Structure 1
């Protein structure tokens, strides 16, 4: 028994260093693992500090670096200009439309004002009115001259319109008085004007040329041509005098037979204006030519005017119908080469 106990004690003593060594190894491993785990937050904290430092450096650089300005008129930047170039931001605009050269904006304002310093100018984008400061006049004389110039500049359009309207009005009055004496006779017309109320003359005489011009809007010749067209050109007398047109479509007939004159045409306006104003003279002439035996100047002029209007209308109808017949028989020939 004593020998067995001694052998077991020796075995235990031989195993003790290995066991202690393994325990020490486990302890070292655990300590290393704990150190590695504690180092990960430290690395993350270091990376966060580095990013914050970089952002702070970028902000400092942006603050130290000035904003690049660009003129929205000439599109040049302050890097291309001299240091003495005068810049201004006259409105609420931001970004590329914020800055502009003082000289460029001055030229732009001159174009908008058209050298009229009384006009206000505003930004075309934000509609902010520019604040413009002018130097004060050194004396009262120049201030008075400048004030008079502004008043004359503002009143010139009204004065011009007044002169034009007044000239037209008094021309109409004179024309009306001349027409009255021409139609009634010199003595009768003069007597009528002298014994009439001045207010009635100032109102009535200018209406004479107006009525004559408005009468040209009545185109009775077109009504006769439409009546002839609706009856399929069955009037034998007109067909014998003016010829029979070829069979054409209704659209073709309306486009070529009826009048295409419009009041939008300047030539038509001038033609109707002159024709209206010449009517009293023509009526007097034809009245004396065909109705000279009538003693009353008024009756003679009325008959002469009626004769002139009817004769002119019939000639116009005949001319238009002849033109229509001529166009309706128009033909287009084949091309023949002269060399062959």
Structure 2
């Protein structure tokens, strides 16, 4: 029996790299599971490399023998204080990164809205007048009020107020005789118009609403300077463009 066991040890081969004792006499051999025969021996280094490939960086993943399905009990060496602190910091950073990314995104959007609101105020009111107004205003009011400017522009563009005015016009035009005298034929029946699809359901329409709302103050300022150059106030010119 001792001679047979010795012969088996001499004939052993690694089931990972298929090397024998003759190929590498300095390699360390282990028997990690209940396998018998030629699959019970494996190099310690080969087994560690194979386990690392199976875990793929997750040290808590379970690994079992591919032959007998016996789960390997992996014991890691005790970490030093420096390695422990670094590992703890790495785990804390991994958990905090999603929240930090969300905060950076929200902060970027907020300060972009603040900048847009300040530029819009200077465009509509005037550069010097806008700076004077913002310098005299309370900082908290500016931090809350300026980012609401693009929000209100977008919401105002989303509300199709002309449709509501047209519905009221059709509903009450017959009851107001003064309108019939000013606009002849206003009481005639209006053919039924098929209902339109929701503009927000179309991606292009939503993009158009967004771009139109954000670029509206600039266009209103330019058109106001061209059409109402006799008006001195920038704010009055912008309001005139809005209503005419």
What is the root-mean-square deviation in Å for CA atoms of aligned residues?
Answer: 4.0
Q: Structure 1 pair 296/83, CA: closer, same or farther in 2 (3 Å)?
A: same
Confirm whether residue 291 of structure 1 aligns to residue 228 of structure 2: yes
Cα distance per residue 1:10-44 (max 9 Å; x no partner): xxxxxxxxxxxxxxxxxxxxxxxxxxxxxxxxxxx
Confirm whether residue 209 of structure 1 aligns to residue 147 of structure 2: no
Does the CA-based 8 Å contact 1:222-1:259 persist in structure 2?
Answer: no
How many Å apart are 1:212 and its aligned residue?
0.6
What's the TM-score, normalizing by structure 2? 0.60
How many Å apart are 1:296 and its aligned residue?
1.6
Q: 3-state DSSP class of the match of 2:158?
A: coil
Greater relative contact order (Cα < 8 A, sep 6+): 2
Q: Residues 225-240 of structure 1: matches in 2 within 5 Å?
A: none
Residue of 212, 220, 228 corresponding to 1:275 = 212
Q: Structure 1 pair 216/190, CA: closer, same or farther in 2 (3 Å)?
A: same
How many Å apart are 1:225 and its aligned residue?
6.0
Does the CA-based 8 Å contact 2:199-2:206 persist in structure 1?
Answer: no
Structure-2 separation of matches of 1:163 and 1:290: 43
What's the TM-score, normalizing by structure 1? 0.44
Cα distance per residue 1:292-330 (max 9 Å; x no partner): 1111221111112333xxxxxxxxxxxxxxxxxxxxxxx
Confirm whether residue 254 of structure 1 aligns to residue 194 of structure 2: yes
Q: Residues 160-199 of structure 1: matches in 2 within 5 Å?
A: 160-199=101-140
Unaligned runs of 5+ in 2: 1-33, 42-49, 63-70, 173-182
Structure-2 separation of matches of 1:259 and 1:224: 18
Q: Residues 32-181 of structure 1: matches in 2 within 5 Å?
A: 84=40, 115=57, 135-181=76-122
Larger radius of gyration: 1
Structure-2 separation of matches of 1:163 and 1:226: 45
Q: 3-state DSSP class of the match of 1:191?
A: helix
Structure-2 separation of matches of 1:260 and 1:147: 52
Structure-2 separation of matches of 1:228 and 1:201: 39
Report how many aligned residue pairs link the two structures.
181
Unaligned runs of 5+ in 1: 1-77, 86-102, 122-129, 239-244, 308-340
Q: Structure 1 pair 116/305, CA: closer, same or farther in 2 (3 Å)?
A: farther
